[in-house]
């Protein structure tokens, strides 16, 4: 089982994770500002949770995977600066309650360290691949949102996702059948959390 096999085996789930009226609104400019602001604040909190979760994956990683995971940690720290810089001119406070949908996703990431390494790596890759595919669907984006579309569609980000995919491919190739099943389950959970995250940003509700 490879990362591409996972995508091919769950096309409908992946579509829901990466296609959404929120993203259509980013593309054509019809996205309500309120939904965008809700997404921005909650995504900041998501990345706040992802960074330490990824640090645990790095701690468990084999030697060939260390560079891509470590570079990703630096990238996530940069991304937090970037979110803070975007929140300020919009008058957005980042000091708000974390939405239950975001909290559940972060709790899942925090729990990854209990899983076999192949499942940890699969989840990290799926999470970033989802953003690459989702924002690509919104490309080039209406002027108001273009900078955000560019952030997750630039070649550097696509290369990072490819790096994670290579690590995931190796981990899955080494994994036992039961570890592979756990990895597939983690993939499905990430896709569900991604779909729920867009719903949360779009409608504001849904726990």
Q: What residues make contact with ligand HMH under the rule CB under 6 A?
A: 43, 46-47, 127-128, 130-131, 194, 197
Q: Which residue is nearest to ligand HMH (CB)?
A: 131
Name the burial class of residue 112, with classes exposed (0-12), middle (13-18) and buried (19+) by CB atoms within 10 angstroms of its CB.
Answer: buried
- 48 or 113, CB closer to ligand HMH? 48
- 51 or 118, CB closer to ligand HMH? 51
- 53 or 175, CB closer to ligand HMH? 53
- 136 or 181, CB closer to ligand HMH? 136
Write down the least CB distance from residue 59 to ligand HMH, Å.
19
Q: Between vectors from CA 109 to CA 107 and to CA 114, what angle results, nearest 5°?
A: 100
Write down the least CB distance from residue 71 to ligand HMH, Å.
14
For 61-99, give one letter per residue: b (16+ CB within 10 A) or e. beeebeebbeebbebbeebeeebeeebeeeebeeeeebb
Write down the least CB distance from residue 46 to ligand HMH, Å.
5
Write down the least CB distance from residue 130 to ligand HMH, Å.
6
For 148-163, give one letter per residue: b (16+ CB within 10 A) or e. bbeebbeeebeebbeb
């Amino acid at each position: 089982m490879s990362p591409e096999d996972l995508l091919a085996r769950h096309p409908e789930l992946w579509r829901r994770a990466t296609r959404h009226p929120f993203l259509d609104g980013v593309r054509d400019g019809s996205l309500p500002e309120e939904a965008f602001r809700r997404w921005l604040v909650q995504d900041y909190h998501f990345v706040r949770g992802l960074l330490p979760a990824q640090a645990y994956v790095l701690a468990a990683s084999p030697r060939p995977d260390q560079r891509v995971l470590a570079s990703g940690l630096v990238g996530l720290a940069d991304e937090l600066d970037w979110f803070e810089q975007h929140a300020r001119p919009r008058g957005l406070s980042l000091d708000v309650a974390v939405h239950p949908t975001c909290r559940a996703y972060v709790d899942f990431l925090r729990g990854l360290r209990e899983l076999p390494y192949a499942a940890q790596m699969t989840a990290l890759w799926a999470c970033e691949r989802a953003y690459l595919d989702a924002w690509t669907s919104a490309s080039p984006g209406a002027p108001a949102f273009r900078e955000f579309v560019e952030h997750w569609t630039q070649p550097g980000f696509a290369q990072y996702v490819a790096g994670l995919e290579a690590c995931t491919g190796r981990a899955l190739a080494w994994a036992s059948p039961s570890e592979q099943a756990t990895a597939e389950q983690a993939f499905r959970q990430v896709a569900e959390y991604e779909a729920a995250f867009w719903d949360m940003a779009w409608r504001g509700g849904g726990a």
